Structure 1
């Protein structure tokens, strides 16, 4: 398999995993902070385990470690906002809003890392816009409760957009560390530590949240750990995809996880009335497929 094909394969794997990592949140009744803390523990354990199994050498200097921590801090902020968005709007509505980050990721790759030299900018931009369009189409399918103008929906959209901005922003220090020759496994270990630090910082205004987390049920803590494990595997796949095909292609491709999240919302959580919204769903799947094809052709 060629490098481009392998990079695209890793991108699709990250898409699947990113579409699933918030499912444990839907099954948990823990507070957002408690769930996020459990997730970060899962992230830390998984990233360290992957590092010890795949590559035991350590090469990062203080600058690379600091940048990796910044990645983790931005991820923690983005995930806190995403969890809040899921709380207010549901998984199948929040995920498409968050995934408008696809266009931001393509812009970052082109502007900051000169990826236009190896990627056709027009084709990649068109593909990312189609994927963002998929997010808009599938988001509309969730409006079946008559409350789309309610304050809860407005809050969900705001938190979803904040998550999109935070997630897109962490690709900048992420790619900078990769370009400095640090292994993906090492980068993600320090990023995982930054994630935990970020959540602890978010917990400072209300210190009781740490004690609340310690008192959570085993079920809720395991669900949080599972979410963190899935995310760590997803970001590992994404990192390999970025290394092979660039941020401009890998980032929007991974954000096709809208399709996975909506499918889960339909089948397991009954968040969407499929017979009523069949047209939007099928059109969304078509634009997602077209966007993926364009991203593949842009290399």
Structure 2
């Protein structure tokens, strides 16, 4: 029971991460730089406390963990602009749950018994239905929602790609069998370097001519303010790695993705994202199905 409760800590961090990020504001580069600056600080502190056993395997795990995360996180932040937090997070969480559960079951043999496979894949089916419901939108002629169908399509495509990146982030440590404490600093280093490269590219490519120094765009005031978001991410990031070690990827990542409850309700009631009455019913129904699917996958832990 203790490992299951520990596995829910990342859900709190990631659940409120998107809410705080949208409240603080700034461009995509600012939001992500704030997160990685804090994560790097956490990593440096932990490296002093826990000397790292460096190896080629550790560096490879950190690269496959940190670089896809940077790309996935930027895409997820962008998806908030297209879909809103209350729609993007259930969609993202549902896809990640399905992908990581499948990898955990087949790559890491985390569901060796028949009943675990039946229960696990039944739960994934619920999650897929929940994802479809949470992403549903009324036709523009009948709806009060301000999200256009083209934005919905772009948001869904971006979210699918970002979810694949998050799966690499979730499974790298387990795949390479490296210690989570050893991984924290090199992972943060790769996150920082890759995010800095991507952020400078975005500021130079997307900013209008004469818009100013890209350094100011990447390391501007909003980047430092978004370090508050980074505290939530860093706590979730560290605890999810230990949870994946204790519970296995299929269960550990599933528990972390219960952030859907906090992020969806926060998007609706804190950020006041607009939904028609029918859309609200669909989003809440989808969120409930995703949560039930996550709980069922968590039950598969009892057979290990």
Q: Given the two structures, how large is their TM-score scaled by the length of structure 2?
A: 0.84
Q: CA deviation at 1:82?
A: 0.3
Deviates more, 1:166-175 or 1:280-289: 280-289
Query: Is residue 2:152 matched to residue 1:157?
Result: no
2:55 alignment counterpart: 61
- Report the Cα distance in structure 2 between the residues aligned to 1:240 and 1:226, rounded to whole angstroms: 23
Segments of structure 2 that go 5 or more residues without pairing to the other structure are: 205-212
How far apart, CA to CA, are the structure 2 residues paired with 1:223 and 1:153? 29
- Output aligned runs, 1:114-263, within 5 Å: 114-117=109-112, 120-140=116-136, 145-146=144-145, 148-177=147-176, 179-180=177-178, 182=179, 184-203=180-199, 205=201, 207=204, 209-214=214-219, 216-217=220-221, 220-263=222-265
Say yes or no: does 1:298 pair with 2:292: no
Q: Deviations over 1:4-50 (max 9, x none)?
A: x2222122221121111122321233221122122211111123324
CA contact (8 A) 1:34 1:209 kept: no
Q: 1:130 to 1:250 in 2, by over 3 A?
A: farther
Describe the shift of the 1:9–1:83 C-alpha distance in structure 2 as closer, same or farther (beyond 3 A).
same
Deviation at 1:272, TM superposition (A): 4.4
* Local SS of the residue matching 1:140: coil
- Cα distance in structure 2, aligned partners of 1:187 and 1:28: 29
Q: 1:75 pairs with 65, 69, 75, which one? A: 69
Q: State the alpha-carbon separation in 2 of the partners of residues 88 and 13 from structure 1.
A: 28
Structure 1 residues 83-131: Cα deviation after superposition (integer angstroms, max 9, x where no partner): 1101222111111221211100011112222223379222223234433
Change (3 A) 1:289 1:63: closer
Q: TM-score, normalised by structure 1?
A: 0.85
* In 1, Cα distance between equivalents of 2:232 and 2:138: 25
After TM superposition, the structure 1 stretch with the greater mean CA deviation from structure 2, 139-148 or 247-256, is 139-148
Change (3 A) 1:79 1:282: closer
The answer to whether 1:106 aligns with 2:101 is yes
CA distance in 2, matches of 1:142, 1:297: 35
Encode CA deviations 1:166-185: one digit per residue, 9 max, x unaligned: 101223322124x24x2x22
Over the aligned positions, Cα root-mean-square deviation in angstroms equals 2.6
Partner Cα separation in structure 2 for residue 125 and residue 114 of structure 1: 14
The 2-side partners of 1:152 and 1:290 are apart by: 28
Answering whether residue 79 of structure 2 is matched by residue 85 of structure 1, we say: yes
* Aligned 8 A contact 1:138 1:262 in 2: no
- Give ranges in structure 1 of 5+ residues lacking alignment: none
| Residues in 1 aligned to 2:134 and 2:282: alpha-carbon distance in whole angstroms | 6
